[in-house]
A and B are shown apart, each in its own frame.
Chain A
Amino acid sequence: DVKVTQSSRYLVKRTGEKVFLECVQDMDHENMFWYRQDPGLGLRLIYFSYDVKMKEKGDIPEGYSVSREKKERFSLILESASTNQTSMYLCASSRGLAVSYEQYFGPGTRLTVT
């Protein structure tokens, strides 16, 4: 079974803090993704990575950065947290670009910025 883990289930941070969200997958997947999910807005792609040290902007990259130094780990960084970044953050991974490859999600991190 694919296992995607995220460092925290719940996180509370103050405005202006630098926040790190970690994601690890154990299935040697090439692709990794970060989404945020908000009521009424659905899943929105923040960043994705097709390979180690590679990253691509998604639909809403502003205020975020990412790091992928190892294949199994993909980090999302909020450089200076703001209240509008309060959300559920979901990491996902996929074996590759072939259309038949499914995407698997981690348990999510609910981040509250006060």
Chain B
Amino acid sequence: QKEVEQNSGPLSVPEGAIASLNCTYSDRGSQSFFWYRQYSGKSPELIMSIYSNGDKEDGRFTAQLNKASQYVSLLIRDSQPSDSATYLCAVRGYGQNFVFGPGTRLSVLP
């Protein structure tokens, strides 16, 4: 059974701080990794994808991947109250479906 694990939270950070969200996965064959943001009552929205070890930056967001440790993270710099949401980690192997983690609830306090 392929599994993706995340801390459910809530993770609370003050406005302007760095929020760090973590995800581990069990299938070593996983090749692509995605972060989705989901506001309460809304559907998941893709914010980042990463395929290679290392860091990938997009604005205030940085995704980090370490395949040897089977670990992927999302850093949100200068966190804003509008970043308060649940963040879903998803992984995919070749020819396989997406496997989603349970999500981490982030709360950014003004």
Contact = CB atoms under 8 A, between A and B. Distances in A.
- Do the two chains bind? yes
Interface string A27-48: 0000001000000111101001
Interface of A: 33, 40-43, 45, 48, 58, 90, 94, 97, 99-100, 102-108
Contacts, number: 46
Interface stretch (B10-18, B54-62, B65-73, B99-107): B99-107
Contact of A42 (B45, B94, B101): B101
Contacts of A105: 36, 43-45
Interface of B: 31-32, 34, 36, 42-46, 49, 51, 88, 90, 92-95, 97-98, 100-103
A9 B49 CA distance: 28
B88 A43 contact: yes
A100 B32 contact: yes
A90 B44 contact: yes
B43 A43 contact: no
A45 B90 CA distance: 13
A58 B42 CA distance: 22
B51 to A, nearest CB: 6
Given A48-B97, A103-B34, A103-B90, A108 B42 contact: yes
A99 B101 contact: no
B31 A99 contact: yes
